[in-house]
Structure 1
Amino acid sequence: MKKILSVITLLCVFAACSQEKNTDKPKEEVKEETKKNTILLADPTIFYNNGVYYLYGTTSGNIPNGEGFQVYTSSDLKDWKGPVGAQNGLALKKGDSYGDKGFWAPQVLSYKNKFYMIYTANENIATAVSDSPLGPFKSETKEPIIKTGNQIDPFVFIDENGKKYLYFVKLTNGNRIFAAEINDDLQSIKPETLTECISGTLPWENTENTNWPVTEGPTVLKHNGLYYLIYSANDFRNIDYAVGYATSKSAFGPWEKSKDSPIISRKNTSQNGIGHGDIFWDKDQKMHYVLHTHFSKSAVSPRKAAIIDVEFVGNELKAVNNSFSFLNN
């Protein structure tokens, strides 16, 4: 019976989580996209440090996504160089840290005079450390943060009082977003704090009405004393993949989903499969959301990296009209 359940679970995960698929794509579309030099990354994140923007993400078409994480750099968010990671373009290379396949959805942060990368591999979450945003990111433990179950899409949020939280997606009856306090070493959680945040319950979050609803790619920030949980919903291959948010007075919820969601979708960007990114602030403290889109109207992969401006209007988070653009190098 366990074997049968395991097979069913694996099939559900395969269908739902945000991994890179070898989707067939028309050769003429790839050729045209190559001319434009649009950066091919999924689940992207941008980290700003000392005048330089660092772009990371799930590899999408350049190298197998079982090799690690590439990194690109820019001084103005318009012209990007790379990949320029310390190891043949890679900021993290397989073998230097936990995992040997499925390197997805990294986050990079500066902490205690080091640079930390929190990422997914082998459908689990791990941490690696470096002296430079370019890497090499390495870990001596080579173990996942959470030892039981399967979880992806990590995001570390450090609150004003110094408490640290790990938001992530647990693969259980759908892709559901959970949170837990993470210890000061960023290598383990406090299991007694594990709390479910949200799951796909609204019509826009499951437009294909599947039995494995998807909410994923969490990013958390705080504004006017309110916590904002920004997330993507629907299977990433669905053209309705989109971005919404929920708010709470506590880091653990309860979360109230915004009635304005989705705030970023194909309806206001004209791009299919748009989502799974990260909030960042530029050198002028202007807020942006970096994300990915489908490759074209007819092909999901390789996915393309892009940014869109976002802003607060009172306590409502909104995308800025006509601010969408692809990232090119």
Structure 2
Amino acid sequence: MKNIAKLMSIALVSGLIVSCASTEQKIVQNERIVTNPIDLNYRFQPNEESRREAADPVLEYFKGYYYMFASKSGGYWRSEDLAKWEYIPCTTIPTLEDYAPTILVYGDTLYFTASSGNTRIFKNAHPETDTWEEVDTKLTYRQHDPAFFKDDDGKVYLYWGCSDVDPIVGVEVDPKNGFCAIGEPKSLIEHNGDKYGWEVPGKNNEEPRQGWNEGPCVLKHNGRYYLQYAAPGTQYRIYGDGNYVGDNPLGPFEYVEDNPFSFKPGGFIGGAGHGHTFKDKYGNYWHVASMTISVRHWFERRLGIFPVVVSDKYGMYALTTFADYPFCIPDRKVDFEKEDINMGWNLLSYKKKVSASSSLEGYEPELANDEQVETWWAAQTGNKGEWLQMDLGKLMEINAIQVNFADHNFNVHAPHGPVVYQYYIEGSTDGKNWTRLIDEEKNEKDAPHKLHTLSAPAKMQYLRICNTKDMEGCFSLFDLRVFGQGGGKVPAVVTGFQASRDENDKRIYRFSWEPQDNVTGYILRWGTQKEKLTHSMVVYNNHYEARYFNRDSEYYFSVTAFNENGVGK
């Protein structure tokens, strides 16, 4: 099994070298290897407790670049490849600080509006520069969480909705006449928390009230219209995006039973809601969405990007199982249903022995590798020389290290320049003699979730990250995550799996199975189609309760164990 797994890994990486970098050097390939959350210069907010935020993303391909806007970011980003992002500060859109932006490609111009409760729209034929102009708008509806959609026939529609009471609505608009509405808005999606457990708010969908239906987005595929919406609240890991489908851009729409199509309640960082589905320049579908931290403030959020399968047989679903592990952005058309873009590198750092130069009470070193972005290690100071050390337990092959900085006790508020960390990471086989693996001592980029992919795998047992810059606040890490090959056996098949449905509330399932030694965790999969389980949850115990199922649907389940050597059967 070990040799088979190794051969599979070599084959996968070799294929990705070809697809991601053609015949160029590995360093080019490495630049296409990413993970979630997306590593961006997330802006600190102008008021309240110092914290970064970006959410409610929208992304479109325009004139050779991908343009991405997100709430509360002070600007926007562009990219040629979805892997490397350039930040463009923006001062010419006075409503840029409003939540939930949307953009529209119409002719040779990009249009922008946001959830301001007014009707201001801006345009720019050259968004690589901050030269936006206001449109003489004739739209009179006050919309929250707006979303543009342009159909194949050139007609344009505007959708909006952000409420625990009001529906998602839509109306046709005329961009050539100041986006004047054509007809009256139509109610399209109502709240159905009593039927669909994932629409119910709470950390575990447990609160006895309706959640928020919000953040619509429309996608057309094979002549059918997918009206997407988010629920139940951005502060929860169970925040996701669902679909209704119809034959007309203004409905009627029918609920897709296998909802939510974008969902990531588990792993290092959770949440995959209030997003936008788009096609890349090769015709691949992706979904960019909000991910949650929500500790310092309930709007403390990040962005994630997920490949999307759109299948005539199985419907639409985002691939989120290992979306916070390294994967490669392809430079060609890919069948995501059949071809895995994950790099095949396993998590080596989970709950390994750690020590540190210092720590604050409640922010101990053990919180730096617990796979929970909501907790973190913080040194007592931000002084040069603070460090965190990890013992992997034995020699392991390291391919990549993700550094997630927690900004503890920072006092940074917008507007601000780049918030730059400087550090190095070294490795050792014996804990005495050290080799520098990553050198960021001269770093000048604001990169709080940096994934470092090594040019060649390094066999190490010990790793240490050391701060090399005196800074305000404390040197701190949400998690220091290490990826590679453990060199041992993958877990055996899970036994004793049981799934029981609550007799009084069929939206609730409870699961249990026999625990295994030598595992990192388990992947619980489910779906309404036996041959294609489209959803997953990473669980670290041998039991789990979930309340996000449809009341009237039947489900199929499986559970698989995984560890630092791979995924079992």
Cα distance in 2, alignment partners of residues 268 and 319 from structure 1: 14
Does residue 72 of the first structure (1) align with residue 77 of the second (2)? yes
Of residues 110, 116, 132, the one that matches 1:115 is 110
Counterpart mapping for 1:62-211 below 5 A: 69-82=74-87, 84=88, 89-90=89-90, 92-94=92-94, 99=95, 103-121=98-116, 123-134=117-128, 135-139=130-134, 141=136, 145-147=139-141, 150-169=142-161, 174-185=165-176, 187-190=178-181, 192-201=183-192, 202-208=196-202, 209=207, 211=209
Q: Deviations over 1:30-81 (max 9, x none)?
A: 6xxxxxxxx9421111221233222211115xxxxxxxx5111222211212
Alignment match of 2:282 (pick from 281, 284, 291): 284
Query: Partner of 2:56 in structure 1?
Result: 43
Q: Contact between 1:280 and 1:288, CA under 8 Å: does it hold in 2?
A: yes
Q: Distance in 1 between matches of 2:247 and 2:112?
A: 28
Specify whether residues 290 and 22 from structure 1 end up closer, same or farther in structure 2 by C-alpha distance, changes over 3 A only. farther
Question: Which protein is richer in helix relative to its size?
Answer: 1
Amino acid at match of 1:54: Y
Secondary structure of 2:307's aligned partner = strand
Name the structure 1 match of 2:342.
none
Shift of 1:187: 3.1
Measured in 2, the distance between the counterparts of 1:127 and 1:178 equals 19
Output aligned runs, 1:260-279, within 5 Å: 260-267=258-265, 271-279=269-277
**Normalized against structure 1, the TM-score is what?**
0.72
Tell me the distance in 1 between the aligned counterparts of 2:79 and 2:246: 34
Alignment CA distance shift 1:267-1:42 (3 Å) = closer
| Greater relative contact order (Cα < 8 A, sep 6+) | 1
Moved over 4 A (4+): 20-25, 208-212, 296-299, 325-329
> How many corresponding residue pairs?
275
Q: Return closer, same or farther for 1:249/1:165 CA change in 2, 3 Å cut-off.
A: same
Contact 1:289 1:309 in 2 (8 A): yes
Deviations 1:276-318 (A, max 9, x none): 1111211211110111111367764431111001111215101
Unaligned runs of 5+ in 2: 1-44, 326-446, 451-569
Give the 3-state SS of the residue equivalent to 2:265 in structure 1.
helix
Give distance in 2, aligned partners of 1:145 and 1:40: 30
Over aligned residue pairs, what C-alpha RMSD do you find?
A: 3.1
C-alpha separation in 1, matches of 2:90 and 2:138: 21
Identity %, equivalent residues: 25
Q: Are the structure 2 counterparts of residues 80 and 287 from structure 1 closer, same or farther at C-alpha, using a change threshold of 3 Å? A: same
SS of structure 2 residue aligned to 1:292 = strand
Equivalent position SS for 2:175 = coil
Contact 2:213 2:229 in 1 (8 A): yes
User: Structure 1 stretch 129-138 or stretch 286-295: which is displaced more?
Assistant: 129-138
Provide the secondary structure at the position in 1 that maps to 2:188.
strand
Higher Cα Rg, which structure: 2
8 Å contact kept, 1:175–1:212:
no
Whether the aligned pair in 2 keeps the contact of 1:247 and 1:258 (CA below 8 Å) is yes
1:24–1:301 Cα contact (<8 Å) kept? no
Aligned equivalent of 1:313: 311
Q: 1:103 to 1:298 in 2, by over 3 A?
A: closer
Question: In the TM superposition, what is the alpha-carbon distance from 1:267 to its structure 2 partner?
Answer: 3.5
**Equivalent residues of 1:178, 1:197 under 8 A apart:** yes
Q: Give the TM-score, by structure 2 length.
A: 0.44
Gap change, CA 1:186 and 1:266, over 3 Å in 2: farther
Contact 1:48 1:54 in 2 (8 A): yes
- Classify 1:24/1:137 alpha carbon distance in 2 versus 1 (closer, same or farther; 3 Å): same
Q: 1:53 — aligned with what?
A: 66
Counterpart for residue 388 of structure 2: none
- Aligned to 2:161, the other structure's residue is in SS state strand
Aligned residues of 2:265 and 2:271 also touching (Cα < 8 A): no
